[in-house]
Amino acid sequence: MVDCAKNALDKRTGGSVNGNLHVTQSVHIGDDDSGLRANGDGNVAFYANNVKVGDWSNASLHWLGNAEINGTINTHSNLVVSWGGRTAVYQENGDVHGPIWGGHLSTWLNNTFMRDIRLGHMQEVQIWRGPGIRDEPSYVITGVYNGNGDAYVDYVQRRILQKNVNGNWINVWFM
């Protein structure tokens, strides 16, 4: 009996518990307004200054305010961000799905921006004593040369300028 009293927890200086400890209501840390409280069957709440700041159960960890993490967050699924009635999902393949771009970000980028440009086949016409070339949509001049060495340009070359959007080659238009 003396050994039990000697090894008991002292509320002034603390002590050690070897084995299970069962607490039926709450564990206070520091003063009596911060700590862990029973929050229903299988649910424990975190309190700070008598304000509930979060809870955990067998299904989730819920935090009511900001959370700062000075390290890596690892998920074994997609990362879902919801706020203000909107939801964005960061997927394991690096794509992001959200309403601001109407679905997957990769699809919006492919449908909106050029992925490549190219010049089409070359057309060449004689301009000295020939028909020449009028300004036409999609064509750019790629060459002008003198074929016989005199003082006049003889030929002009042009090609269609095309852009690749979402895997489709489209002729570039002008205004």
- pLDDT tens-place string over residues 35-78: 888 888 889 999 999 999 999 998 888 999 888 889 888 888 88
d(CA 108, CA 91): 15
Better-scored residue on pLDDT, 150 or 130 = 150
pLDDT for res 7: 61
- pLDDT tens-place string over residues 85-109: 889 999 989 999 999 989 999 999 9
| C-alpha torsion angle, residues 56, 57, 60, 61 (rounded to 10) | 10
pTM: 0.51
Q: What's the one-letter identity of residue 150?
A: D
